Structure 1
Amino acid sequence: MPSPRLLLIEHEASLREVLGACLGELGDWDVTTSRFIQEGILLCKKHRPDVILVDASTPEADALLLMEQLKRDSLNQAIPIVLISAKADWFTAPELHQMGFLGAISKPFNPSTLSAKIHHMMAYSASTS
């Protein structure tokens, strides 16, 4: 059975590398990485990931517009989006869902449970739809 595909959008190189390794090596995901949301939108169309993990903070000037475009495109392709942010605890699950996200993961994160959290969110979402 092939590994599930995950698109990781993270602007910070060292964190992108750590997240990619955690998810790829510890979580058996097939990880595609992107530095920018705009690039992630193009990669999303090309690689058709099973889930997108995106850092909520980005240096892109038009980040909010790009995030909306990513959500629109992922919705059209039925790809759930998970936020990763130091501010993830600011939102409840219903608020995240209302904003168009599957869920959120807090930074700092536990590398050994990161993959399981994403799988759990996806399984819970599938069981409630």
Structure 2
Amino acid sequence: MTSKRILVVDDEEAIREVVAACLQRLGGWEVLTATSGQEALQQASTEKPDAIVLDVMMPEMDGFAFLQQLRSNPETQPIPVVLLTANSYLPNPQLLPKLGVVLTISKPFLPIVLVKQIAQAMAW
């Protein structure tokens, strides 16, 4: 079985590195990283990851603006997204599945729980 590839998008380097390490070491998945929504859109289009772990609060392009652009491109439209958020309140949570969000995880998180929740949500 081929390893799944996950794109981790977070403007905070420490969070990005922790999430990437968890997914690689505990999940055994290949990890790509992006520091911004724009960089992530380019990688999603060229690399075609199996899933995206996305920070909601980012400068310039927040997670929701990223999702709208991701879904407007037929090549990236089907990629499932896991939201990472430090804010427990998300506006219009009922819209998340329509935007391709399969799971929302609150920061801080336990590494093993992060990996298990993603594996379960993706049916991996």
> Is the shorter-chain TM-score for this pair beyond 0.5, marking a shared fold?
yes
Higher deviation after alignment, 48-57 or 92-101: 92-101
Number of paired residues? 123
Residues 39 and 74 from structure 1, CA distance in 2 versus in 1: closer, same or farther, beyond 3 angstroms?
farther
1:90 shift after superposition? 4.5
1:7 positional shift: 0.5
What SS does the corresponding residue of 1:6 show, helix, strand or coil?
strand
| Equivalent position amino acid for 1:66 in 2 | F
> Relative to structure 1, is the Cα distance of residues 99 and 72 closer, same or farther in structure 2, using a 3 angstrom cutoff?
same
Q: Normalization by structure 2: what TM-score?
A: 0.85
Q: Deviations over 1:39-91 (max 9, x none)?
A: 0011011111110110000011x434333102333775411111000224647
Change (3 A) 1:24 1:14: same
> Which amino acid in the other structure matches residue 38 of structure 1?
Q
Q: Residues 29 and 93 from structure 1, CA distance in 2 versus in 1: closer, same or farther, beyond 3 angstroms?
A: farther
RMSD of equivalent CA atoms: 2.4
List gaps (5 residues or longer) in structure 2. Answer: none
User: As a proportion of its length, which structure holds more helix?
Assistant: 1
2:106 maps to a residue whose letter is S
Whether the 8 Å CA contact 2:83–2:103 is kept in 1: the answer is: yes
Higher mean displacement: 7-16 or 87-96? 87-96
Partner of 1:35: 35
After TM superposition, list the pairs within 5 Å mapping 1:99-110 onto structure 2. 99-110=99-110
In the alignment, does 2:55 pair up with 1:55?
yes
1:127 is matched with: none
CA distance in 1, matches of 2:69, 2:92: 23
Shift of 1:25: 1.0
Query: Counterpart amino acid of 1:17?
Result: E
Structure 1 stretches (4+) deviating beyond 6 angstroms?
none
Partner of 1:119: 119
